[in-house]
Amino acid sequence: MSKTFYIETFGCQMNAHDSEKVIGTLEQGGYAQVDDEADAGLIVYNTCSIRDKAEQKVFHRLNEYKRMQGEGKRFAVIGCVAQQEGERIFEKAPYVSIVSGSASYRNLPEMLARLEAGEQRITGLDDRQTDQTFETEFVSRTNPHRGYITIIEGCDKFCAYCVVPYTRGKERSRTAASVLEEARRIADLGYTEIQLLGQNVNSYQDPSGAMTFAELLAAVGQIGGIRRVRFTTSHPRDFTKDIVDAIDSYETLCDHVHLPVQSGSSAVLHAMNREYTREWYLERISWIKAARRDISMTSDIIVGFPGETERDLEDTATLLDDVGYDAIFAFKYSPRPNTPALTMLDSIPEQVKSARLQHLLDRQRAIQRKNYERHLGEEMDVMVEGHNAQRAQVIGRSSQNKTVNFTTTQPILPAAGSYVRVRVTQVFPNSLVAEAKVV
């Protein structure tokens, strides 16, 4: 097996950043990354099991890889589906050599050594009680302008629909000192934006007891050279007012909070085991709305959860009106392996779920159209992410995490990662159009 590898990543930002750490670990072990699976000695498939039929997608992709098994290639399946399916992957795809859950990535060097020594089947599967996190200084950062830092892994919430506690293990946090050390390294590399990650990022508990989550946010925001600090994803149960106070106090903390509600009905929230009510959630929203800064709010919503009534749906729809989100990510409920919701009677037909989802999306679109109008004529700093040659526009992102497409009269287009002051000239429900201010 040649010491080259190809990695394919599916899922959330946590998975994407995990892949950055896996790539760094492989490169430290003498492996070289290639852009084409045909040129790789080792093919790594980093999987996600959040969405419906995730396992089928994995095995379908592995079946496509099967044609390469006679070419001396080795295959590794890592991530959430690997943890969930375990050694069944070897049974369904016997040409796979490594199956590793995310809690076992710290053992990758050892697993690679065993692979190179000729072992055919290597398993790295931890139970959810592990206290270990995947810390490594060998991170191959693939995003050219935003540095990701995982500060907490796993989940202890056990929402009825969610597979994460079973695939990611229990909540375990890094020390604040190690997070700040990595943040300084990122700043020294020239990054100006840092995003703190966790399945429930605001559930962070510093093992040393030195800092709360809000204090850690503030400390990262005060590192020299850092202009923006983001965090995702928060859980309402652990969202505290001092987080809002920190955003108000430090301009480097982005004025955006993603706070997944999942449903606007207290009855459905109880069935989901979210352990808060509509009123509890709206109290936290009131803290955000009372801030001095204009903090953008976004959320996740599930429709069609078992037992959801038309009244429950209307509760969610009115919540959209009460909060006034700048964006939502809404999905139809789908049963996931090992979750308590599997035992609930899913009596809602698929077409009804689709209709309910569309109803919410239409309602939210009207809210966003009105929300975005408040930015017309506003000046803001935009971080450049790319260019649209066809429209002669620069693509950027505001502190509120809104997409801003702007034009400039400068002969040389601003580079990715740079900041440009713009004035908003046109608004759409999902983006802003602006022109660069003349310096």
Q: How far apart are the first and last CA of the chain?
A: 55
351-361, pLDDT tens digit by residue? 999 999 999 99
Least confident range from 124-128, 241-245, 413-417: namely 124-128
Order of strands across the sheet with 122-124? 32-33, 4-9, 42-47, 74-79, 96-100, 122-124
DSSP state of 209: S
Is beta strand 393-397 parallel, antiparallel or unpaired with respect to 379-388?
antiparallel
Question: Does 52 or 307 have the greater pLDDT score?
Answer: 307
Q: What is the pLDDT of residue 64?
A: 85
Q: What is the pLDDT of residue 423?
A: 98
Helix (H) or strand (E) holding 434: strand 431-436
Cβ of 303: how many Cβ atoms within 10 Å?
A: 26
Percent of the chain with pLDDT over 90: 84
Q: What is the pLDDT of residue 340?
A: 94
Q: Find the mean pLDDT for residues 15-35.
A: 95
Q: Are 103 and 83 in contact (CB under 8 A)?
A: yes
Q: Is the pLDDT of residue 1 over 70?
A: no
Residue located via tokens 């040129």: 39
Residue located via tokens 């006034």: 324
Q: What is the pLDDT of residue 313?
A: 98
Q: Are 404 and 423 in contact (CB under 8 A)?
A: no
Confidence of residue 345 (pLDDT cuts 50, 70, 90): confident
Q: What is the pLDDT of residue 51?
A: 77
Confidence of residue 71 (pLDDT cuts 50, 70, 90): confident
Percent of the chain with pLDDT over 70: 100
Q: Is the pLDDT of residue 439 over 70?
A: no
Q: Is the pLDDT of residue 50 over 90?
A: no
CATH superfamily, domain at 4-124:
Methylthiotransferase, N-terminal domain (3.40.50.12160)
Report the number of secondary-structure helices (H) and strands (E) in the chain.
13, 19
User: Positive or negative, the Cα torsion across 91, 96, 102, 107?
Assistant: positive
Q: Find the mean pLDDT for residues 428-438.
A: 94
Residue 196 to residues 32, 137, 292, 303, Cα–Cα distance (Å): 28, 16, 23, 28
Please name the residue ranges forming H helices in 144-263.
Answer: 164-168, 176-188, 213-221, 241-249
CATH 2.40.50.140 location in the chain: 376-436
* DSSP codes joined into one string, 251-312: TTB-SEEE---B-S-HHHHHHTT----HHHHHHHHHHHHTSSS--EEEEEEEES-TT--HHH
Q: What is the pLDDT of residue 55?
A: 80
Q: Is the pLDDT of residue 208 over 70?
A: yes
395-428, pLDDT tens digit by residue? 999 999 999 999 999 989 999 999 999 999 999 9
| CATH number listed for the domain at residues 376-436 | 2.40.50.140
Q: Is the pLDDT of residue 69 over 80?
A: no
247-290, pLDDT tens digit by residue? 999 999 999 999 999 999 999 999 999 999 999 999 999 999 99
Q: Find the mean pLDDT for residues 106-132.
A: 91
Report the chain's mean pLDDT, rounded to a whole number: 94
Strand partners for 150: 197
Please name the residue ranges forming H helices in 125-189.
Answer: 164-168, 176-188
Can you tell me whether residue 50 is helix, strand or coil? coil
Length of the chain: 439
183-203, pLDDT tens digit by residue? 999 999 999 999 999 999 999
CATH 3.40.50.12160 location in the chain: 4-124
- Percentage helix, strand, coil, to 5, in the chain? 40, 25, 40
